[in-house]
Structure 1
């Protein structure tokens, strides 16, 4: 029987790839939220109004969409957008929450750009339900930087196709619409910087507007909740703790009495050298969190996933346990 796994993250909604994968492979996954996410309802209302105003409708400059005449704030938009960017599952969830609460006043067909399989899965569920004619791109790009370079080619090609299709009816085609990027309060700026780089030819640059739709902070109850789960474990197969970000690392090590929080330096060294005597093992989703544990706490996790997905974590655990048993 596979060991139990504590996943130090919030379970994604409506489905979570880690829950689906580990449950299907005879693991017992348990989610212990580290971060608290709060949606910015006023900013999400602004996103809805963009849909209502026809900002995603290329014809809205000359006419109002008949789909949205019932919306009381319908206006011809001052800016137009040709697609949306999501690099966070929380941003997708915030967008979905807005739609579920208030509906979507228009249903455009637009490209949706994302990075990483987990966010892509969540976005696919939303797309299938609310934006059925839209397309999803970038799930395999792996990083925001790779996604940005992919968009420079893909989105510009889409716009060229659209412009050529309307060139016969207008001698002055409209300017290239930008992309709307739904983000959290804390984020990297690699995507806007890459797409709007002034060193690019003007024809290739893509305007990006960021709207903050959620904020994140460490949960006050995390350490207590994590300790309760650890103390309640009495299995024989060993427990794995999977860490997804630097947030919560200190509390995690303190509860497990690892790294600088070990009872004694000798006990810590012995546990590190002889993993067979331990009942709890630590895996990180990638090198950023691993390096944080190394550099700040002097702790070396047992596994660092080669790929930041359920399969990558599971493969790292499998290899580690095979080496331990040999």
Structure 2
């Protein structure tokens, strides 16, 4: 397969903030197929960390709230399902390190950190904590919840065979989140001994960035002007979809839906000057279809960098978009 089309690398506009210190989407898409793709980040969401919540997490750590051997122990582990939650946690850890506080005893190897996917797990590992990072193979909240039920309960039995109380888990979340994990862990259908109490702590708030639409429009048109007539847009959430479709001039101003009800089914023969749209999963795919009448070209089977790349690659091969012009 050729590296480029018409001598130009294929832009992939990722509608997300670049994760730090590493971003799995950048590492994956920039390296596959001999550097054929050119990923670029266009932030859609503006995240504001809640300082009072960060202070609460810091106080918990300093007082031994995550050390099961401490008399002040309050939680047996922490759950992460977003990069932003990891970034909030990272701020707390960095502040403690800057204050020369030894973290190893406060966050020991007996305290699991549960991560929903490889990107989240990778960011947690970059902190070099003693805590084991588990569950990254799950890929979604429901699968992670079932993993936690099995692992956390077994871990408790292994280390506390007696009647000792099972500590709850702390779930660091954003203002907008699904409740699948707390509900699954605390289901009444479970025998009482299997239920796991969960405390949700909102550590960040989210809103659409005012700069998103002009930045997206500029990036899209810049790529067109330099000859990259084949472009992909990867959508991670419903936020920003309307602004994105407006920039692409796909929406009817009167109805707010796709012009002439275009694209009711996947179309691999449409002109390359049009946008190719990929979604990270079915939630955003269904939102685009229901709200705007647009069916994305691809929907990743797995919400991961590899899943997005596999969906794009399959589409490109099916449409035979691989020959230089």
TM-score in terms of structure 1 length: 0.84
Partner residue in 2 for 1:220: 210
Checking the alignment, whether the CA contact within 8 Å between 1:258 and 1:299 is kept in structure 2 is no
Alpha-carbon separation, structure 2, partners of 1:263 and 1:95: 40
The answer as to 2:157 corresponding to 1:160 is yes
Give the unaligned 5+ runs of structure 2.
Answer: none
Partner residue in 1 for 2:18: 11
The answer as to 2:92 corresponding to 1:98 is yes
Partner residue in 1 for 2:50: 40
Checking the alignment, whether the CA contact within 8 Å between 2:250 and 2:259 is kept in structure 1 is no
Partner residue in 2 for 1:325: 320
Partner residue in 1 for 2:146: 149
- Displacement, 1:47? 0.6
1:196 to 179, 186, 208: 186
Q: Please state whether the residue corresponding to 2:192 is helix, strand or coil.
A: coil
Partner residue in 2 for 1:292: 287
Alpha-carbon separation, structure 2, partners of 1:264 and 1:202: 50
RMSD: 2.5
Task: For 1:40-119, list aligned pairs within 5 A.
Answer: 40-61=50-71, 77=72, 80-103=74-97, 105=103, 106-109=106-109, 110-119=111-120
Q: Please state whether the residue corresponding to 1:275 is helix, strand or coil.
A: coil
- Displacement, 1:218? 0.6
- Displacement, 1:259? 4.4
- Displacement, 1:325? 2.3
TM-score in terms of structure 2 length: 0.85
Moved more, 174-183 or 260-269: 260-269
Larger Rg: 1
- Displacement, 1:95? 0.3
- Displacement, 1:279? 4.5
Partner residue in 2 for 1:120: 121
Task: For 1:231-270, list aligned pairs within 5 A.
Answer: 231-233=221-223, 234=225, 235-236=227-228, 238-260=230-252, 265=259
Moved more, 143-152 or 104-113: 104-113
Checking the alignment, whether the CA contact within 8 Å between 1:34 and 1:248 is kept in structure 2 is yes
Partner residue in 2 for 1:170: none
Alpha-carbon separation, structure 1, partners of 2:143 and 2:188: 19
1:210 to 186, 196, 200: 200
- Displacement, 1:265? 4.3
Alpha-carbon separation, structure 2, partners of 1:264 and 1:198: 44
Give the unaligned 5+ runs of structure 1.
Answer: 62-76, 168-172
Alpha-carbon separation, structure 2, partners of 1:91 and 1:121: 13
How many aligned residue pairs are there? 299
Partner residue in 2 for 1:137: 134
The 3 A distance-change label for structure 1 pair 56 and 268 is closer
- Displacement, 1:159? 0.7
The 3 A distance-change label for structure 1 pair 277 and 157 is closer
Bigger proportion of residues as helix: 1
Alpha-carbon separation, structure 2, partners of 1:146 and 1:175: 25
